[in-house]
Each structure stands twice: as C-alpha cells, then as structure tokens.
Structure 1
C-alpha cells in the first residue's frame, strides 16, 4: 500500500506534479532572466557615477548625429570636453594619461567592388599601465609597428559615437560611449589603476562602413593593444549580451562579470554568415589581429536604427549592465601580466599585431548568474569519448542482463523447460517499442504543419507576437504527443515504455551528437554544445533503466511460477481503458477463460497455475476495493503492478523515474531554452529586413521538439486534465496567430526612407522600402503621395532584395542653405559640382568633386576602374585600394564640410573605351527640417510603422558624366 501515498512513485499524480512544476519553474526563470535587467546598485565602484553617465547619455542623444551631420561635430566637442574634465579632476600628468584628438588619420580600403576613402575624427585616450614605464609614442612621424609599449601591450576598449541618420543612438552606441567615459574615470582612480596600458577609443563613422575603426588602424597607437573589448548596440535596451569572442583565453576575463549573458550560438551565427550586419569587432580581430570580445545590446530590433533608439526606451539598469561587464572584463585584461597575449615583439608580415594564438571557445551563461567556459577541443574530445564509450556500455549491460536471465527487453515469451515443445509464458517484452518514434514524427509533423499554416495565412505575426507562436507550438507538440503515448498505453500497457522511449532518445541524440561533433571538428562550430550535455544525461538515465531491470525476477523463475502447462500461457493482457487513467481491472475479452473441469489433456500442474492466478486475482481484488482510484496497481506476490502492465514488472522500483526526469528534463530545457530565447530575440523582427519568415517558424518548430521531447518518457502517466488545458491553449493561440494584425505600437514595422534627386533634370523621387503590401498601405497615408501612381520595384540595395521599393514624386529638399558663402542663391543643380580632366595618352583621368553642406560624396562607374587614388590618402600595405576585379564605386568622406576631393582613376586598356558613370553627394542631417519629405513620412506613418535609413544618406543628389 506504500505506493498509494508515495509522492515519488511513477503514478499519475506525482508524475503530473513534478513534470508540470519543473517545466513551469524553468520557463518562468528563463523568461524572467531574459526579459528583465538586473537592478543597478545604489553604490557603484569608486570612480563611477551612474547619474553622471545618464546625463552624458541624454546630452549626446538629443539629436540625430550621423557622421555627415553638424550635430556629430557638437557631440564630438562635448565628448572631448568631458574627457578633459575627467582627467583634470584627477590631477594626472600627461605622462600617465594622454588624450589624442585624432584629426589626421585617414584610410583608403576596398570591400569587394567598393573603395572607401575616409578621413577620421576619432578620440583616443591612453592610460599608461603601472607595469609600462616607457613614454608613449603617438605622433604620425612614428612608423607603424614601433609604437608598441614594452611587455604585453595593452587593452583596447572601443565604442562609436556616431548614430544613424534616423536614430538618436542611445544604445547604438550611446551607452557604449558613456561606458567608455566611466571607464576613464574608473581606471584613473589610484586603487583601480591598470597594470597594463588601457586605450579608450571613441571612433566616428562606424555606421557607414566601419570607417572609424579603419581610421584607427592608421594611428600608431593601434599597434599597442593586444586585446580588446568592443561595446555595441543593436536594439534599444535590455541586457548587454556577449555577442562573440576570439578565443577561450580572452573570454575567461568575462567570467568575473556578475550578471553574464550570452551564448556561443551568436558568435557562430556571425562566423557562418547567418548574421549579415557587422561591428568593429571584425576590424580589430580580422584586420588588426587583436584578440577580444564583442558585447552588445540586441533587442528589440524594431527600434534599432529608428527614432525609438532613445533614452526613453533605455534604462539605468541597461546602462549598468553594460558598464559593470565592461569594468569587470577590462580590469581582468589589464591585470594580466602574463605573456600569453604578447606574441613576438615584431609586427607580422601582413601588418597585424602578433597577439599569440588562442584556442576556440565554448561558452554560455546559466540564468544570468553563472558563466560556463571551456575549449572547443575539449568539447570535441568529450563528444568522441561519449560516442565511443556509451554504445559499448549499453551493449555490455544488455549482455549482463541476458546472462542474468533478466533481459525482458524485446522478449516475446519464455519456455518453462527451454524446449520448443513446452508451453511458453508470454512476457510481452516488445510491447511499447515503436510508440515513441511514431509519436515524435507525428507530433513534430503537426508543429511543422502549423509553421507552414502561419507562413501561408499570416506570415508576419511573429514580428509582434513571438511568444504566442511559441505557446501554440509547445502546447500542440505536448498535447498530441500525450494523446498518442497515453492512448497506446491505455490500449496495450507496457512497463517498458519509459525504457524504450529513453532508448530511442539515446539513439536520436547519438545521431545528433555525431553531427555536432563533425561540425565542431570540420567547421569549428560550437553551437551544438547543449546536445553533448543532453546526450550524457539521456545516457545516464538509460543506465538507470537498465539497472532497474536487475530488480526483476529471472525469466526462468517467473515462467516456473506457471509450471508445465499444456497450452500457451499468456501474461495478463491489458484491459481497454479510457485515457483518464481511472479504470478498473477488467479482464480482456481476448483472454482465454480458465476451465475448472479437468480433461485428459489437462496438465498435472494445472491446479498450481490456477491457484496462482486465483490467489493473484483475490489479492488484486482486495487491494482494488480499498485503493484510491488514482493508484492503478494490482497486488501479487511479485509486488504492485501498474494497471494492465506485465505482471513481472511488480518488483521494479517506483521512484527511480524521478532521478531520470531530473537528469534529462532540467538540463535540456535550461540549455535549449536559453538558446531558443536568444534566437527569438535575434530573428523574430528580421522579416522587416527581408528575412524569410518560414525559416523562423521552422526553427521554432525544431526548438519546440527539442524542448518538449525530454518529457516523452513520462507523458503516458498523465491524465487528461493538463493536456486538455494545453489543447485549449493551442487552439486559442492558433486562432490569434492566424487572424491578428502582425504589427503594433510596441512592435512597429520598419520601412526604409531615401530621397533621390537627379540634379541634371531636377527629378525628385522619394521612396519607402518595406514588406510587399504593407509599404503600399503606408504610402497611401502620406499626403504628397496621394493621387500618384506608385512605382514599385526591387530595391538596388543588396541586403534588401527581398523587400519592395515604392517611389513617388515627393517634397523638395532644402539640404543646402538658400544663400551660399558667396552670397548667391543656390539651386539643386549647384549643390554638386564636378570636373573631369582626362590624360592625353592613357585611360586615366582626374576627377574633382565638391558638394555643398556635405562631407560625403560618391563616384559610381558604369564599368570597373582598375586603380583609384585620392589626394591626401596615405599608402598602407594592409589595405588594398581596389578589389580583385576593380572598383565600381568610390565612397568619399571628408572631416570638413563642403571641401573638394581630387581623385585619380585609371580604367581599361582599350584606348577607345568610354569612361562614364555618376557623381552623387549625400545629405544625412534630418535635425533642422531640411528634409521635408522625411519629416512628412515621420509625421504620417501609421502607429504600427517606423522609418529607418536604407543608405548612408537620407538625400542623394547625382549627376551623370561621360568621356
């Protein structure tokens, strides 16, 4: 009778309680950690001041401040003054801290068929480490490679202070900028002074082509650091996540962060090209050769690069989360006096700093409290070990069980005297073996079907309601899996159903681990780390199931209980039972009834068998009459048997299932759940950028199966109550997901603005690029577009090919003041002037370009040019001026306004070849009302939409040229 009140028995009530409570608890903690930011402390470390940092953030985010705006100059002046104020307040000499106002560095580099010439306006602060006694070398007369401080170099901390033309830049990258200011204050406190030199970089021009980081490479101080921390933003608040890292050794410094957050999955996403945007990390690591970390905000993406990237949408908690991570990580880097990051003392032949060789890392956090870090090689070795050892262990246990005569697995019958002529005892050991794979395929197929249904009916609902989609898929999988598993158990109960399900999980996770191991070995992908832990947990749980079988009687002993029978002896057949689990012990109609009348064929031992069955039946009846209807066990001299299951299972322990559950479910749900939430935040609003919604739903479906399948060994013990509730959840969320409008006030659809003016003809075209159907509905509400026929085409921006660009004749722009410096009235045609002088004996020409009230222009060639040179450029062997197939576009950036560029180009060898293309200048400053079309779009957008920029400029004026 102990099982009737045992809270750990493998009976419905305990199973329902422990499984349901565990899932609810884990999901609640995961969502709480993911959606909430830890509170900032009332007392911060010496040298830091959150009130001051928030005031700085508010100041620099008052206006849009892209590189090509006057507000950008104001932000730069403010940041310089704040740095000088901080240093002066500490009474420090210039030999210990140096502020570098870099108005000299420039860079010319190529990216594919595009060449960029950029003049930097970076701000650099160098805090000399206490272990670095030599003076700084920061003048441009010093050759690159000779400015390195002695010892192990230093630490670079970077943030960019420019915003996009459509956003205030609070988290992209204002929080990073004010964190750098606070780091300057922190490390100049005597008790916090770093051992190694710390270089604080505020770069300008990241948003346009990572230009500021490229310009930093031209400054000699860039040769000093060997490690780096890049601070970025791709959302509007929340937690700052560890996006990616170069290696295990440098990632170890992040372990000291009090509230770590992130997983290597995001790093692999960048590595494999699934994430199309980039940060300065690729310059510092890929081109400068440093080893370091990328820490960034990542959600909500709907506010990224829009006016909603503001202090209103951020918080002191988010600011502190990034700042505290920066302090802990940078302090660790700057305290490291080993030589593991120093490499050799000479610059490498490719121009990169030699920072040694690191090992690839696997890392993830647990509930935002614990940070797990180990080498990818360690993961590979563990995976290989598991793949080799575990099958041997399972086979060995199977052999031992067979030798012990206790292997009931896959056993149909047992002969009493080991003779085929004897009457067999039916063991029904095969029963339940095929249930899980059929259930898994069916339940997963239903979830995949829901994914296709959403894609067909309401594809963008995930944009505003990702958790409604998750609820629908999770509840659908659990309900249909329960329905099939419980139904099969009701019709033909099996004491081995849990064991067989774990065996199938072992086989499936084994195959998955093989795939993960190949990815780790051949492609250096660590994202499958959770499968290693899941496989190990399933293996141990399966070992427990094998250990359980040793509690069973020997098959020969069990069969001998029936004695020598003249006919086939069946084990007790399961009665048909309803799915509620409240059935009685009715005998199956298929069971051959006993005949009390002896005949000439009756076995001499028949009375023993009849006595056994009658005794068994009487004991069973006596227990059933007084038992709780919830406990479906029958009593025999073999112990309690769960209703309808094989009689030999009565000696199985009733509590070991809980250990198996705790081994398999929590670890998988925690690890996979964190990955699922991170991927949800990363991709659920990418359809506005043109990403496939079907791929998002299919990923959700795959993760749904991974989250719920660990519960499969225990689902057949559930009664109908919880699954029925899940069915209602599934139906309700499915209806909502199919009919609800996919965008909302909190989750606005991004559309991309651009105004293009043909300065030769005066044609003025305004366009919005966005999702087909929705962008047309948005434009209908804009007054200047009403009554016009929209011209909708595929955009010419490579990263937005999946969207639709619709244009109309918009309001004229006023990006150039009415009066020029010479006192003459300006017209659009005079905004841009150019001249071309062709060489008389070769396919070469010099082009002079000047744009009024701008510091960004472009040259676009109809056929690629083979060489490009801009007056003022400095040659650098690390940068190629043109791509392998030449250059089709040259982007020009001045640090001064309305200044000319003189460009020398050379093209094909055919002396008769023509030279033609387009000259364009950009205007990006939307603060002064000089772009009425943009202001109109901002004003008349529906409440569920928001505008962003699609190019470096909001207005593009161009003229054609031809030689």
Structure 2
C-alpha cells in the first residue's frame, strides 16, 4: 500500500472557511465602499479654475458673502442680497468683456454700459420689478384653500444661444408670444432661489445653488463657449414662502421661451447633491453626463405618490409651467435644514463643487441638444406644451456610473423574466427526470431485479422546508425589534441610525445562522443551498409580480432593484440545476448501493456504499480482470465501472483514501461532506462561489444604496412628525433584502463571525434602548412662532415639536419658569404628530419705537396697537362684498383670514393669468399678501356667499408678519431660546412669519 497523502485545502470548496472568508470580505468591502460613496463628497479641484470660466475660490467667497446673515423675503437683508447679485453679475460680464442689455433695472445704479441696439446682445439682464401673480392652487391650510398675491423681485440673465432667434423677441406682442410662433428651439432654464428662511443662513438652501448659477454665467459668457440653445439663469426670490418666486417667473415672457429646466435646491445642509426628481427619461439623460451622478428614481416616486411632503420650484415649472426638467438638491443632514447651522462653516467647498460640476455638465448637455424632443408650442393660456416624455427609471452605481431607461423598457424586461424563467426551470425539470437525475424531492429509488427489489434511500426531500422556516423566524425577529424600538426609544434613529442598522443586520444574520447551522448539523442535506435558492426564487417572483403591476398601472419605477434581484436569483438557481447533471443516474446509484452493501446487512441505502470497508467495496466494484466469470458475476460489471469513472471527484472536504490504484476515480468511494447524502460527492465543489458572485455583490450594491438613501432622507423627519414605526419597518425590510443573498450559503459559516455579530447585536440593542436620541451634532428641531393680539397686547410664544422633549426645552427658558404651558397636539398634515406648547413670552420689538411715534416706555398693549392698520368698507348693504385696506409697519407681508370662505376676490394692481385660479373651488379662507415694497398699502375686494334672502356678515383676522431676526433684541423670545435651550435642540421657523400680529374684524 502506498504511503498516505497529506490533506490539501481547496480555496474554492463549499466548505466552512472558504464560505466564511469570501462572504465576509465581500460584505465588509461593499458596505465600506457604499458608506464612503454616500458620505464622502468628491474633492473639489485644487486648481481654483478647474475649467475655463469657472473659479472655485470666487465661488466660495460668494457663498460666504451670501450666507453671512439671515435673508428671508420679508427682511431688509434680502434687498441687500438682491442688489449684491446684480453687482456680481455685472462684474462677471465685465471680466469676460461681454456687452449686454439691461431690462427694467430699478432701485440701484450699477453703471451698466449701453449696448449697440443694431445687433442682438449676447447677454440680457432682467431685473423683474414688475411681475406679480395671484394664485390659489399651491397651498391648503387646516381651514381651506389659501390665495396668494405676490410681487416678485426675480433676477434673470439670458445668455443668447447661437441658434436662437435674433432680436429682443421677448418684447413681441402677447398674442404672438402665445401663438408659439418663434424661430429657433426652446431654451434652457437653470434656477435657484436667493431667499433663506428666517431662522437659517441659507448656505445650502439655497446659497450653493445661487453661487453655482453665477459660475454658470461666467462659463457660458466666456469667449468661445456660447451655447447652441439660449440659457435663462433665474435667481428667484420668495421660494421659502410657498414657491412664490417661481410662480412670479411664469408671468415673465422668458418663461415661454424655456422648454427644459434644472432646479438647484437644498433640503439638507451639505453632503452630495442628489437627483431628487425628473419629469421623464429623455431629460434625465442630460443629468447622466454629470461627473459624479447621485440619486435614485425611488426619491422621485416618493414625491409622485405624496410620501414626501415638502416641495420645490420643480413643481411650479413642471406642473404650472409645462416644462420638462430635473430637481437636484442636498438632502442631509436634515437636522441642520432651516436652522442657523445651515451656514458656510457646516458645508464644504467639496459640496459646492459637487453641485456646480453637476449643474455645469447637465446644462451644457441640455443646451447642446439638437433633437426635436423638447420642441413645442405655447397654449392659449400661456402654458408651454413640450409633451410629457417617457416615464423614466434611473439610479447611480457608486456615484460614478448612471443608468437611465424608460419605464416601459423595465416593464418589458420584468414581464419577460416572469414568463421565461419558469419555462426554463420546468424544461430543466423535464430533462433531469428523463435523464434519471432528478434528485430534488426524491425519497427512494427501487432497483427492479429478480434478486433484490428493496428501495434505496435518496433523502432528496431533506432540507426543503428549513430555509423558509429560518427566514420567517429571522424576519420576525427584526420586525419585533422594530416594534420594540418604537415602544421604548422611538427616536433613536434620529442621531444613531447606524446603531439601528447594526442591530437589525446582526440580529437577522445571527438568528438565521443559528437555525440553519443547527438543523444542518443534526440532519445534513446536500440540497440546502439549492432549496434555499428555490425559495428565494419564489419570493422574488412574487415581488416582481407586484413591481410589474406598479410599473404598468401606477407608473412606479422604484422596483428596478427587484428586477435585478430576481434575475440574479434566477441565474444562481440555474447553476444549481446544471449542477444536477453531474450526478449519477439514480438507477446506477441504486445498482452501486446494492453491490456495495455487505451480505446480510439488510436493505441497501444511499449510504450503503460506505457500509463496507474500502478494500471490500473496491473488490466488489472492480474484481480482478483475470478472475474467471461465473454465473453470479454481474452483467453490469464493465459498463458500471466505466460509468463511475466518467464522474469527477465529489465536493467532500476529506481527501481521497490512499490507493495503490490512482486511476480509480469512482466518486461513490469518496465521503460526502459532513454526513450529507453520499451521491452529493459527485457535485462540483466550486460552483457555490459563482452563485454567490452572481447573487451577492449586485444586490448588496443596489439595495445598500437604497438603504442609505432612505436612511438619509427619512431618519430625521421624525422631528417633522413622521411616525417612527414605518421607518423601522422599512429598515427591517431592507435588512432582509440585503442579507438574503447570503442565506443559501450561511449554513457553511464557521461560528466565529455569527458569534461576533451576536455580541454586536447585544451591544447595539442595549444602546438603542437606553441612549438619548439627540445630540449636539444631531439636534432636535423645534418650530418657533410668536403671536400677538395687537388690540389687547396678549403675547403668546409657542414651540412645536416632539411631545415630552418640547416641554423639556421650554422649562429651560427663564421667561417660561413658573408659567403655565398650554399644549395640544396638532392634527393637520404639515405638523401631524407634533405637540405645540404656548406661554406668555417676552414682548417682540419688530417695529422700532421711532416708527410708531411712541416713547419706548409705553406698555406693550399700546405699542402693539399701531403696528397694523386696516379699514373695511362694505360695498353696499344689499350684497355680500367688501373692500379691505391694509397696511403694516416695517413689513411687506400681511394676511386676511376669514372664518368663512370668500367666493371671489380682486387685489388692486394685481395681474390676472388664465393658468391660475384666484380662489379655490369651494372658495378661499385666507389671502396672503406679499409686496416688494415696504409698508405698502393693500386694497382687496372680496365677495362671499350667504343667504339668498338677505346679506350676511363676514368676520376673521387681519394679520401682518415680521421676519427680521438677524439682530439681537428684535425678537427677545427667539434670542432666549437660542441662548438657553439644551445643546441637543435647535430652532426653526414655525410659519412664514416669526412674529404674527393680528386684529379681529367683523363686517
């Protein structure tokens, strides 16, 4: 006998250490890569001029200047920003030696140079101090529809395209503009708003967008870089107060010229700029040119179906204007959004470069497009009609590649997969049965002969139900954890989202490993992997059916990852089917078992080939060729030996036995892995790795990106009143999706990784249940408003936020000490789930004493009374109509609120537009008045329905708003909150005005 051979380790065998090492490395590597891509913004170029016409140093200085103070629409600083932008635009055009026309510049003298009117100017600057709009289709309060009257102060720069019509076509008659008869193709609109909220410096909302527009002007006015299509760069004012600036733009002639748009926005305070929304697949292809694309169609579907409640100018340009375009915005961290942490210090030049480079590449692509896709006309009511385009599906891969397809293409792929893959597997079933290799669900095999008709046990059913049982138990565990967090510490994800993720991921992995490994140890099965894939296939098929219905009926493309998931599961399962062809025919196996069983051992089994000693089995299967044949010599001897030699070695982890006859390659003489069915030793040992490569990486990447996107978008919306349970259930569902690819292989893992993960689970569970949910870096946002009844002087300050925490914040304020709090839960959608608490606060000083004509020592009730003046005159006693004259001191924003609804209204000086209704279908309960001038008197004519027999009265409130909070002492109650509130909290605006003062009326 030859000496024993040393054992060798196969690095691709389906054995514990290879499976553990490869799977762990893949998951850890991809998780790390996903986190880096999601949170690390691509570095800005070290060269301050990365492209001709782009200056990053100047852009950063512009951002610092723009965001050095609060500048809401209703503030003096807002006017300063407006004038500064005009000067910056002129500086850019002068530095590029560009002549330009000026249209309707007022208020400041910037020394603009005249242009030779005999030739079309390459650039025209519009300072729109004329457009106004009255509309009632954008906002609804708890009491009904709101009508808004707004006077815009938008700034627009028109960069003429080389293919644009000559002359000042925007000065054509209204009838000609409405006809759409103009030469050239429609232009490109690029938009950002330059107002901030009253509680935020607006660095990313929307300062980065604004300075990106300045750099776009510089780029496209640099000699040699004129676009083919004209570009309209819009700096709109009033976005934060119901998207008013975008509505005002639709009143300008340039709005009829633009057909595509790019909106730059901020719903966070840094990080990467993501593609929030897109109108169609065709326009999304322009964004695909970005050097670092980022985003998923899931966010667009969230907006489309109302899951995301905030809005941007995108909805105005597309919904009311009829344009097709893109919405690119920052989305995290939301805790800093609309707070004083939205400043240049808390963002970065890298974030600025990410948005700027995206805007530049997208705009260049849009302006270079020569197709007829976006050609259109202007309808009778002035709306641009460029068609709707094709519903699109899009997503990025690691922030570098970007996939775009039409939704109907995804639908066709989905239907094809749903139909073809079952047919393929059924066909393989038939072939395997005909070839006598159908081991799935095979219990026994009979060898029909005159000598022996006992069954051979195949145990093909073994392991079929273990994966779904373990899957359900592990999934139930993470769902249970979601309910547990919701009950004991519902807001922990606000600051510790990755601790929650760690808890859920480790819990699911540890539970399913414990179950599958334990069962496999007791009852090993060679088909566990294939049965697991079959169950995954069934689940993915059902999910794909649902996704396909969504694609076809609801135009939802968010199921793109399910299509990929199903395709990868199908491919992995196909390999398992092909593996079965490597097995011996069941008839041959039964014959072998009969021959291998020792005399008197009873009925043969599939492990009967291991019952006799090797030498005895070898002599039974390969008798000496010189032995003389007898009557009992098997007729199958020679054929059988040849048949066995055709099969490769099995995948057992044990080495072959020592042999003096190395040419013998009978797999049935080898040991199967760990007590699994003996016939499984004929299966290839390496195919599991190919299956894992097909199944794991692509799904980890796609689902992992979705997980991070949803986490960033949602985990801090809890402060807005969103329920915690849906968030945790969503995280639990994604946990299952991201770990399911390792399920078919997990029973091969060694105990080391699951043990470590179980310890991580215990630690994170403990932390998540007891840790405080907010921190200095992730502050709880509460909403401030101060309301003053001007006639009586009653002054109430209120904070709105999460119940329990908002009371704790208020008790830390000196002015609230010992005072009774009046708290109630808010029922309407904008603040649903939050608690509002009010108390008698410090008196505001938003109107200087010098403007009231009263000494500073007068009581507040006397001082307040003069802040707002109004007069109401009934048209006559026989009709339900009245005229309101309203004016407020040191403000340009007032309101009229009605306890009933008005059916018609007219605002003196207001323009009408057939695209917009001035009152809601059932009337309006509120009129919001915004003026570009300070202390402007408004005159409003209203009509209301009443009794047909006789006129009825009308009552309500006349109110004005104040927002200037950039100086200490103007709103002492707000100053106090900023000074004394806990470090884990921050304050944001609770309404359009920080201070709202009103008087009652009745007519």
Interval containing the TM-score (normalised by the shorter chain):
over 0.9
Which of 920, 925, 938 is residue 959 of structure 2 equivalent to?
920
Paired residue secondary structure (2:387): coil
User: Aligned residue for 2:122?
Assistant: 96
Instruction: Classify the secondary structure of the residue corresponding to 1:958.
Output: strand
Instruction: Verify: 1:11 aligned to 2:15, yes or no.
Output: yes
Residue aligning to 1:832: 868
Does residue 53 of structure 1 match 2:59?
yes
Distance, in Å, in 1 between the alignment partners of 2:654 and 2:721 is 65
1:641 Cα deviation from its structure 2 partner: 1.4
1:626 to 1:751, Cα distance in 2 relative to 1, 3 A = farther
Q: Is the 8 A contact 1:640 1:651 kept in 2?
A: no
| Residue 761 of structure 1: how far off its partner (Å) | 1.0
Deviation digits for residues 407-442 of structure 1, max 9, x if unmatched? 100000000118999200000000010011101100
Classify 1:573/1:23 alpha carbon distance in 2 versus 1 (closer, same or farther; 3 Å).
farther
- Measure the CA separation in 2 of the matches of 1:789 and 1:108: 42
111, 117, 122: which is aligned to 2:149? 117
What is the CA-CA distance between 1:146 and the residue it aligns to?
Answer: 6.0
State the Cα deviation string for residues 500-539 of structure 1 (Å, max 9, x = none): 0011111100000000000000000001100101111111
Provide structure 2 residue ranges, at least 5 long, that are not aligned to the other structure.
101-120, 614-631, 642-649, 659-664, 857-861
1:568 aligned partner: 603
Deviates more, 1:456-465 or 1:350-359: 350-359
Q: Distance in 2 between matches of 1:11 and 1:886?
A: 73
Report the CA distance between 1:140 and its aligned residue: 9.1
Partner SS state of residue 744, structure 2: helix
2:36 maps to what in 1?
32
Cα deviation for residue 719 of structure 1 reads 1.2
Pair 1:218 & 2:251 matched: yes
Distance in 2, matches of 1:425 and 1:377, equals 52
Alignment check: 8 A CA contact 2:180 2:378 kept: no
- What are the equivalent positions in structure 2 for 1:472-483 lying under 5 Å apart? 472-483=503-514
Q: 1:579: which partner in 2?
A: none
SS in 2 for 1:868: strand
Cα gap change, 1:797 to 1:118, in 2 (>3 Å): farther
In the alignment, does 2:515 pair up with 1:484? Answer: yes
2:311 corresponds, among 271, 275, 278, to: 278
Residue 951 of structure 1 pairs with residue 991 of structure 2: yes
Equivalent in 932, 941, 944 of residue 981 of structure 2 = 941
- Kept in 2: contact 1:757–1:956 (CA 8 A): yes
CA contact (8 A) 1:491 1:574 kept: no
TM-score, scaled to structure 1:
0.93
The equivalent of 1:631 in structure 2 is: none
Contact kept? 2:336, 2:342, Cα under 8 Å: yes
Cα deviation for residue 642 of structure 1 reads 0.7
1:640-687 Cα distance to aligned partner (Å, 9 max, x none): 511200000111000011110000011111000000000000000011
Rounded to whole Å, the distance in 2 between the matches of 1:622 and 1:782 is 70
Q: Corresponding residue for 2:430?
A: 399
Change in CA separation of 1:485 and 1:635 when aligned onto 2, cut-off 3 Å: farther
Q: Which residue of 2 aligns with 1:615?
A: none
Helix, strand or coil at the partner of 2:302: helix
Give the alignment of 1:739-778 within 5 angstroms: 739-778=770-809
Q: Following the alignment from structure 1 to structure 2, what is the Cα–Cα distance between the partners of residues 622 and 748? A: 55
Contact 1:247–1:359 (8 Å) recurs in 2: yes
In the TM superposition, what is the alpha-carbon distance from 1:338 to its structure 2 partner?
Answer: 1.7
Kept in 2: contact 1:753–1:949 (CA 8 A): yes
Q: Partner residue of 2:90?
A: 84
The answer (yes or no) to whether the contact 1:132–1:149 under 8 Å persists in 2 is no
Corresponding residue number in structure 1 for 2:938: 901
Out of 229, 248, 257, which is 2:290 matched to?
257
Q: Would the aligned equivalents of 1:635 and 1:641 in 2 still touch at CA under 8 Å?
A: no
Q: Distance in 1 between matches of 2:345 and 2:992?
A: 25
Report if aligned partners of 2:852, 2:866 keep a CA contact under 8 Å in 1.
no
Q: Return the TM-score normalized by structure 2.
A: 0.89
Q: Output one character per residue of 1:368-389: Cα deviation in whole Å (capped at 9) or x when no partner.
A: 1100111110000000000000
Q: Do residues 203 (structure 1) and 236 (structure 2) align?
A: yes
Q: Distance in 2 between matches of 1:238 and 1:663?
A: 32
Q: Report the counterpart of residue 595 of structure 1 in structure 2.
A: none
CA contact (8 A) 1:166 1:949 kept: yes
Aligned-pair distance for 1:151?
Answer: 1.9
1:245–1:293 CA contact under 8 A, matched in 2: yes
Greater shift after overlay, 824-833 or 782-791?
A: 824-833
Structure 1 residue 551 corresponds to structure 2 residue 591: no
SS at match of 2:20: helix
The CA RMSD over aligned residues, in Å, is 2.6
- Supply the distance in 1 between the matched residues of 2:656 and 2:59 (Cα, whole angstroms): 73
Q: In the alignment, which residue of structure 2 is the partner of 1:304?
A: 337
For residues 125 and 536 of structure 1, do their structure 2 counterparts lie closer, same or farther at Cα, with a shift above 3 Å needed? Answer: same
Structure 1 stretches of 4+ moved >4 Å: 139-144, 146-149, 418-421, 564-567, 619-627, 821-826
Q: Supply the distance in 2 between the matched residues of 1:789 and 1:513 (Cα, whole angstroms).
A: 56
Assess if the C-alpha contact under 8 Å between 1:468 and 1:737 holds in 2.
yes
Q: CA deviation at 1:796?
A: 6.9
* Alpha-carbon distance in structure 1 between the residues aligned to 2:633 and 2:700: 54
Given candidates 62, 81, 84, the residue that maps to 2:68 is 62
Aligned match of 2:164: 132
Residue 269 of structure 1 corresponds to which residue in structure 2?
302
Does the Cα contact within 8 Å between 1:463 and 1:743 map onto a contact in 2?
yes
Q: In the TM superposition, what is the alpha-carbon distance from 1:200 to its structure 2 partner?
A: 0.2
Distance 1:573 1:872, change over 3 A: farther
Mean Cα displacement is larger for which, 59-68 or 149-158? 149-158
Over 3 Å counting, the alpha-carbon distance change for 1:718 and 1:292 in structure 2 is same
- Counterpart CA distance in 1 for 2:566 and 2:988 is 45
Report the count of equivalent residues: 923
Rounded Cα–Cα distance in structure 2 between residues aligned with 1:240 and 1:67: 25
Mapped partners of 2:173, 2:46: distance in 1: 47
Question: What is the match of residue 892 of structure 1?
Answer: 929
Distance 1:81 1:891 in 2: 31
1:544-943 correspondence runs (5 A): 544-563=575-594, 567-572=602-607, 637=668, 639-795=670-826, 798-820=829-851, 827-840=863-876, 841-910=878-947, 911-929=950-968, 930-943=970-983
Aligned partners of 1:620 and 1:635 also within 8 Å: no
Does the residue aligned with 1:866 lie in a helix, a strand or coil? strand
**1:959–1:586 distance in 2 versus 1, CA, 3 Å:** farther
Distance of 2:926 and 2:311 partners within structure 1: 20
Partner of 1:108: 134
* Structure 1 residue 161 corresponds to structure 2 residue 194: yes
Cα distance in 2 for residues equivalent to 1:497 and 1:350? 66
In 1, the alpha carbon distance for the partners of 2:609 and 2:812 equals 68
Partner of 1:208, secondary structure, is: coil
Counterpart CA distance in 2 for 1:586 and 1:846 is 108
- Tell me which residue corresponds to 1:960: 1000
1:320-359 to structure 2, matched below 5 A, reads 320-343=353-376, 346-359=377-390
> Is the 1:492–1:574 Cα contact (8 Å) retained in structure 2?
no
Measure, in 1, the Cα distance between the counterparts of 2:845 and 2:546: 59
Q: Show structure 1 runs of 5+ residues with no match.
A: 576-584, 588-603, 613-618, 628-633
Q: In structure 2, the residue corresponding to 1:755 is in which secondary structure?
A: strand
Alignment partners' CA distance in 2, 1:12 and 1:574:
26
Q: Write out per-residue CA displacement over residues 766-803 of structure 1, whole angstroms, 9 at most, x where no aligned residue.
A: 01101010001100100000010111112476411210
